Amino acid sequence: MTGESARSGTAIANLRRICEQDLAGAYDLEIIDVLEFPELAEDAKILATPTLIKSLPPPLRRVIGDLSDKEKVLLGLQVQPKPGATGTDEVKK
Protein backbone atom coordinates (compact mmCIF):
# COMPACT_ATOMS: atom_id res chain seq x y z
CA MET A 1 0.00 0.00 0.00
CA THR A 2 1.02 3.60 -0.34
CA GLY A 3 -0.37 5.67 2.48
CA GLU A 4 -4.07 6.37 2.63
CA SER A 5 -4.63 6.48 -1.13
CA ALA A 6 -8.00 5.67 -2.61
CA ARG A 7 -6.56 2.81 -4.61
CA SER A 8 -5.11 1.25 -1.46
CA GLY A 9 -8.50 1.44 0.20
CA THR A 10 -10.21 -0.19 -2.78
CA ALA A 11 -7.66 -3.00 -2.83
CA ILE A 12 -8.03 -3.74 0.87
CA ALA A 13 -11.81 -3.77 0.63
CA ASN A 14 -11.71 -6.02 -2.43
CA LEU A 15 -9.28 -8.41 -0.79
CA ARG A 16 -11.24 -8.69 2.44
CA ARG A 17 -14.38 -9.47 0.47
CA ILE A 18 -12.63 -12.17 -1.58
CA CYS A 19 -11.11 -13.69 1.55
CA GLU A 20 -14.41 -13.74 3.43
CA GLN A 21 -16.44 -15.06 0.50
CA ASP A 22 -14.08 -17.52 -1.10
CA LEU A 23 -11.61 -18.48 1.56
CA ALA A 24 -14.20 -18.66 4.34
CA GLY A 25 -12.13 -16.50 6.64
CA ALA A 26 -9.20 -18.91 6.63
CA TYR A 27 -6.55 -16.30 6.07
CA ASP A 28 -4.00 -14.13 7.79
CA LEU A 29 -3.54 -10.68 6.32
CA GLU A 30 -0.73 -8.20 6.96
CA ILE A 31 -0.90 -4.70 5.49
CA ILE A 32 2.36 -2.80 4.95
CA ASP A 33 2.62 0.86 4.00
CA VAL A 34 5.70 1.18 1.76
CA LEU A 35 5.92 4.90 2.42
CA GLU A 36 6.49 4.03 6.05
CA PHE A 37 8.60 0.90 5.48
CA PRO A 38 10.41 1.32 2.16
CA GLU A 39 13.09 -1.16 3.29
CA LEU A 40 10.49 -3.95 3.29
CA ALA A 41 9.55 -3.07 -0.28
CA GLU A 42 13.26 -3.07 -1.14
CA ASP A 43 13.78 -6.54 0.38
CA ALA A 44 10.77 -7.99 -1.39
CA LYS A 45 11.69 -6.15 -4.64
CA ILE A 46 8.26 -4.63 -5.06
CA LEU A 47 7.66 -2.03 -7.75
CA ALA A 48 3.92 -1.64 -8.04
CA THR A 49 1.32 -0.68 -5.48
CA PRO A 50 -0.90 -2.21 -4.40
CA THR A 51 0.88 -5.60 -4.47
CA LEU A 52 -0.58 -8.68 -2.89
CA ILE A 53 1.92 -11.39 -1.96
CA LYS A 54 0.81 -14.89 -1.09
CA SER A 55 3.66 -16.42 0.87
CA LEU A 56 1.88 -19.50 2.26
CA PRO A 57 1.10 -22.10 1.15
CA PRO A 58 3.84 -22.26 -1.55
CA PRO A 59 4.37 -21.35 -4.32
CA LEU A 60 5.03 -17.66 -3.78
CA ARG A 61 2.56 -15.60 -5.80
CA ARG A 62 2.06 -11.95 -6.53
CA VAL A 63 -0.96 -10.04 -7.69
CA ILE A 64 -0.75 -6.34 -8.45
CA GLY A 65 -3.52 -3.82 -8.87
CA ASP A 66 -6.62 -2.83 -6.89
CA LEU A 67 -7.86 -6.47 -7.02
CA SER A 68 -11.11 -5.43 -8.73
CA ASP A 69 -10.92 -8.48 -11.02
CA LYS A 70 -11.82 -11.29 -8.64
CA GLU A 71 -11.26 -14.11 -11.16
CA LYS A 72 -7.74 -12.90 -11.82
CA VAL A 73 -6.99 -12.56 -8.13
CA LEU A 74 -7.99 -16.17 -7.44
CA LEU A 75 -6.14 -17.35 -10.51
CA GLY A 76 -3.06 -15.40 -9.50
CA LEU A 77 -3.12 -16.71 -5.93
CA GLN A 78 -3.85 -20.25 -7.16
CA VAL A 79 -6.27 -20.92 -4.34
CA GLN A 80 -9.48 -22.88 -4.71
CA PRO A 81 -12.58 -20.77 -4.20
CA LYS A 82 -14.00 -23.41 -1.88
CA PRO A 83 -16.19 -22.48 1.06
CA GLY A 84 -14.94 -23.89 4.30
CA ALA A 85 -11.37 -24.43 3.06
CA THR A 86 -8.94 -25.73 5.64
CA GLY A 87 -5.40 -24.55 6.32
CA THR A 88 -4.04 -21.12 7.09
CA ASP A 89 -3.51 -18.55 4.38
CA GLU A 90 -1.17 -15.87 5.54
CA VAL A 91 -1.43 -12.95 3.19
CA LYS A 92 0.97 -10.04 3.37
CA LYS A 93 0.13 -6.85 1.69
| Residues found near other proteins in the complex (CB under 8 A) | 2, 5, 7, 10-11, 14, 34-35, 38-39, 41-42, 45-51, 59-69, 72-73, 75-76
Interatomic CA distance for residues 80 and 22, integer angstroms: 8
Q: Are 12 and 61 in contact (CB under 8 A)?
A: no
Q: Which of helix, strand or coil describes residue 61? A: strand
Beta carbon nearer to other proteins, 40 or 86:
40
What is the smallest separation between the CB atom of 43 and other proteins, expressed in angstroms? 10
For the bound state, the minimum distance from the C-beta of residue 77 to other proteins, rounded and expressed in Å, comes to 8
From first CA to last CA, the distance across the chain in angstroms is 7
